[in-house]
Amino acid sequence: MNREPAVTSWGWAKTKIGFRPEFLDFDRGLRVGNLEPHERITRILKAALEAQYRQEFVTERWGRGVYWQWIGFLNRANRNAKPVSSHVSFGCSKLFVMIDTDDRLFKCGLQVERGYVRPPADARECRLRADWDWHRLRAALKPRSPLDRELRRLTRDGFLVQAGSWSEPHEFSRRTLPAPSVLGRTLDRAPANEWCGFQLYYAMTQEDVRRMSGPDLIETMMAIFEETRPAMDLTLQAPLGRPVAAE
């Protein structure tokens, strides 16, 4: 990223951070098990987000055991605002971190899920509902719209966009990001019986991660979250808004 990190209101916590770069394991995933609370990325990021935005956050994850592959954070107020889907997190836009063990990248940013249009029999609760944030994302993809401007601003700063089914995603950079109408059609063409989503993220290599300290990595993740927050707010029923300390 070319920008300075956003002003935060959680600086008091930095001296208590025990997170270390090696907890981002590019072979196994995000280490969360067999650690003290002040070392766990889940505890640290949740506390930092709640301090920065003065809202309660819910933590979601994909994985089990000591190493997880993906961790998401969503503001509870947005989930509670959903008349049909307030009991699940699928329909909510999320801030996320993950280890892509195939491409050996650490990814951090925004994720919006579509879920299934035609779910399998054992996943009926994952069917796309009318109150999911996906519909706000899709409606916001218009030429010269605020979301279009945010996507172009962020890809100029090195962010990437991933769109479509998880099995065959399309990835776009500054040079390849299509017009909003084309990006929207890419999302619409994702198979109805497959999980589909949208990610806007910044990627770091293992070498990038190893050059930083644990507290510096957490600060970088928080800066990335704030960079993507304006785009995220365009998809939320209950927006996060600017960080408290930056108002």
- Kindly give the confidence (pLDDT) of every residue in the chain, 247 residues in length, as a single tens digit, with 9 standing for 90 and above: 544 344 455 554 555 899 999 999 999 999 999 999 999 999 999 999 999 999 999 999 999 899 999 999 999 999 999 999 999 999 999 999 999 999 999 999 999 999 999 999 999 999 999 999 999 999 999 999 999 999 999 999 999 999 999 999 999 999 999 999 999 999 999 999 999 999 999 999 999 999 999 999 999 999 999 999 999 999 999 999 999 865 4
Residue type, 169: P
Instruction: Give the pLDDT of residue 16.
Output: 80
69 near 103, Cβ under 8 Å? no
Fold that domain 11-239 belongs to in CATH: BirA Bifunctional Protein; domain 2 (3.30.930)
The secondary element (H helix, E strand) that includes residue 24 is strand 24-25
115 near 126, Cβ under 8 Å? yes
156 near 147, Cβ under 8 Å? no
pTM for this predicted structure: 0.93
